[in-house]
Chain A
């Protein structure tokens, strides 16, 4: 996979998560929801890899599986050379300090019975990094770093707005000084003006602390601002992965093209050529055979192979990975659908 310069901070290969479906009186396993089905990518230190896709594509599951908040069914995860899946107990806890997560829902992600300060302090206490007055000092510093007043430490979540709660969540994640952050749709639930504040904050923090981000989002416009590279997911697979500018300018995967063209542009004079996808996204419990996108694909060269063969994510041009049987290496048609 793509490795820009030095060895990547995070390396994921073949990550798979199947959720069993149990039916009947004895709750026998009758099938599986293939939420994530063989996902591979690298993230370098200080880099932002965006993971985009629509609901049901598996991006949230991927983010949590990387941190082992959901146990992967299969696959390899290496963080700074350490095999994450092999860790147990105390070793896993120690690793947790270096990989943290920021959640989407500012309402559910903070314990309503804990003050902001207590929530932020939790990491410090649990890992014996600081206690008592020292911990309080660090909490004050963190609050300041995320743009909140130190006096907010004594308040409860319901006293804050959505944007402020997100900042508290970020402060909580930063308390243990991670080098990698999974941002699971951190701004989706926020108003536009608040969203801008939080996006800027995440960018600033990344610069100041040298953080790597796995930025999960469905809003492509936000991704355009945050990401260095973008991976597009569909039904548990990464279908395209490319540097940001390349993906937005020359997407090659039919799904990516449809996705990009669907985003409403805030400009009434913009020329809109919309690719409308037919039908509905299939259920991950029953994915199509071969290429999971083939039933809805409008590629001119689509044929019966697409229904049989699962395409691999291959580097078609340097740095640009596409999972499509019909997109050839090194060059692509200049007029694309």
Chain B
């Protein structure tokens, strides 16, 4: 077969008119492939901080004995992020909150991934009538606004335990993963190498594990990264409204809630957890975007 040449962009240069081989060797494309490293390191840093929070935090996050002496102190050398209304060091609480916020996001996204991948893979592989009905069910689920659902459930459930919150976020967040996975599995099922595996006699479980899932991994990693970003923001919002993580367990959201009344006078209660949230979300987003480029998921698969 000759070098496939598609119509070049007459109004400007276009890489699409070269063969795939030429395109992948282009330096323009390869620099794009390295952009994930910085965000990734950042996330690793965040995760490390979260894990070692007890060692890094200068104080305990609980109410100290001398709380009335050190209430509502502005940031100082002793308390870099200040203290809150109950005398707790805000820096320590923010650090401990990172464990909560990050682990909550990771766990619920993991749950979503498992649920969504199973649903989507079954729909994609089985096809036919079952696929149609599964997708209709998904359409119905997608039509319910997630935020309203979460608000409704958390409003009615007083003192929601953390595991329940994780389950809630996880079971409401898997729908678009399912759709994505089903689409990708369908596309893969049409490829000759899957037919070849069937011709060889490979059965369902092995087919999924060896032949199909490895292709889903990049897709899932990107989706997971972006979902973590969204979930951090979502949980922060819920906790801010008092519906998510309940005090005294620290979460960036509920620390901000404490400071919401006195944003002018106790700005440190809003700014620092807010910045932490923003930085975490941005880092995850940047990583997700960069990984999407790295895995070339926006290009037509070869």
Residues of A within 8 A of B196 (CB): 101, 103, 109-110, 169, 172
Q: Is the CB of A27 within 8 A of B191?
A: no
Residues of A within 8 A of B200 (CB): 96, 100, 122-123, 126, 172, 176
> 0/1 per residue, A247-289, Cβ < 8 Å to B?
0000000000000000000000000000000000000000000
> 0/1 per residue, B76-110, Cβ < 8 Å to A?
00000000000000000000000000000000000
> Interface residues of A: mostly helix, strand, loop or mixed?
loop
> Interface residues of B: mostly helix, strand, loop or mixed?
helix
CA A113 to CA B206, docked complex, whole Å: 15
A105: CB under 8 A from chain B?
yes
Please report which residues of chain B, range 182-218, place their CB below 8 angstroms from some CB of chain A when the two chains form the complex: 191-193, 195-203, 206, 210-211, 214-215
A64: CB under 8 A from chain B?
yes
CA A114 to CA B202, docked complex, whole Å: 15
Q: Is the CB of A69 within 8 A of B193?
A: no
Q: Is the CB of B199 within 8 A of A105?
A: no
Size of the chain B interface, CB-CB below 8 angstroms = 21
Q: Is the CB of A123 within 8 A of B1?
A: no
Residues of B within 8 A of A94 (CB): 201
Residues of B within 8 A of A191 (CB): 1-2
Please report which residues of chain A, range 14-42, place their CB below 8 angstroms from some CB of chain B when the two chains form the complex: 27
- Closest-by-CB residue of B relative to A184 is B192
B34: CB under 8 A from chain A?
no
> 0/1 per residue, A174-197, Cβ < 8 Å to B?
001000000000000111000000
A8: CB under 8 A from chain B?
no
Please report which residues of chain A, range 73-110, place their CB below 8 angstroms from some CB of chain B when the two chains form the complex: 93-94, 96-97, 100-101, 103-105, 107-110
Q: Is the CB of A111 within 8 A of B211?
A: yes
CA A104 to CA B210, docked complex, whole Å: 23
- Closest-by-CB residue of A relative to B199 is A101
B132: CB under 8 A from chain A?
yes
Contact A126-B1, Cβ < 8 Å, known A27-B132, A96-B199: no
- Closest-by-CB residue of A relative to B21 is A158
Residues of A within 8 A of B2 (CB): 191
Q: Is the CB of A126 within 8 A of B193?
A: no
B302: CB under 8 A from chain A?
yes
CA A107 to CA B19, docked complex, whole Å: 14
Residues of B within 8 A of A67 (CB): 199
A/B interface sample: 8 pairs, CB < 8 A: A67-B199, A69-B195, A100-B199, A111-B193, A113-B214, A122-B197, A126-B206, A176-B201
